[in-house]
Homo-oligomer: A and B are copies of this chain.
Amino acid sequence: MNAAFALIARDVRLAWRHPNEIATILAFFVIAASLFPFGIGPEPQILARVAIGIVWVTALLACLMSLDRLFQAEAEDGSLDLLVGAPAPLELLALAKVAAQWITTALPLIAISPIVATMLHLPAEGYATLLLTLVLGTPGLSLFGGIGAALSVNARRGGALLALIVLPLTVPILIFAVAAVDAAIAGLSPRPHLFLLAGLSVFALTIAPFAMAASLRQAAE
Task: Map CB proximity to B onto A24-64 as digits: 1 under 8 Å, 0 otherwise.
Answer: 11011001100110111100001001101110110011100
Q: How many copies does the complex hold?
A: 2
Given the interface pairs A38-B53, A39-B174, A178-B39, the reply to whether A31 lies near B157 with Cβ below 8 Å is no
A53 touches B31 (CB 8 A): no
Closest to A23 in B: B164
Residues of B within 8 A of A66 (CB): 157, 159-160
Task: Indicate with 1 or 0, residue by residue over A172-189, a CB within 8 angstroms of chain B CB atoms.
Answer: 001100100010000000
Q: How far is the CA of A174 from the CA of B39 in the complex (A)?
A: 6
**A50-B40 in contact (CB<8A):** yes
Does chain B have a CB within 8 A of A171? Answer: yes
Distance in angstroms between the alpha carbons of A164 and B28 in the assembled complex: 5
> CB distance A21 to B156 under 8 Å?
yes
- List the B side residues contacting A50 at CB < 8 Å: 36, 39-41, 46, 50
Is there a chain B Cβ closer than 8 Å to A87's Cβ? no
Tell me, yes or no, whether A205 is within 8 Å of chain B by CB.
no
Contact A175 B62 (CB under 8 A): no
Q: Does A211 contact B (CB under 8 A)?
A: no
Check A167 against B28 for contact (C-beta < 8 Å): yes
How distant is A94 from chain B, measured CB to nearest CB, in Å?
Answer: 20
Rounded to whole Å, the gap between the CB of A103 and the closest CB of chain B is 15
A24: nearest residue on chain B (CB-CB)? Answer: B160
Sorted nearest first, the 5 A-B pairs with minimum C-beta distance are A39-B53, A40-B53, A21-B157, A24-B160, A28-B160
Seen from chain A, the residues whose Cβ lies within 8 Å of a Cβ on chain B are 18, 20-21, 24-25, 27-28, 31-32, 35-36, 38-41, 46, 49-50, 52-54, 56-57, 60-62, 65-66, 68-69, 73, 76, 156-157, 159-161, 163-164, 167-168, 171, 174-175, 178, 182
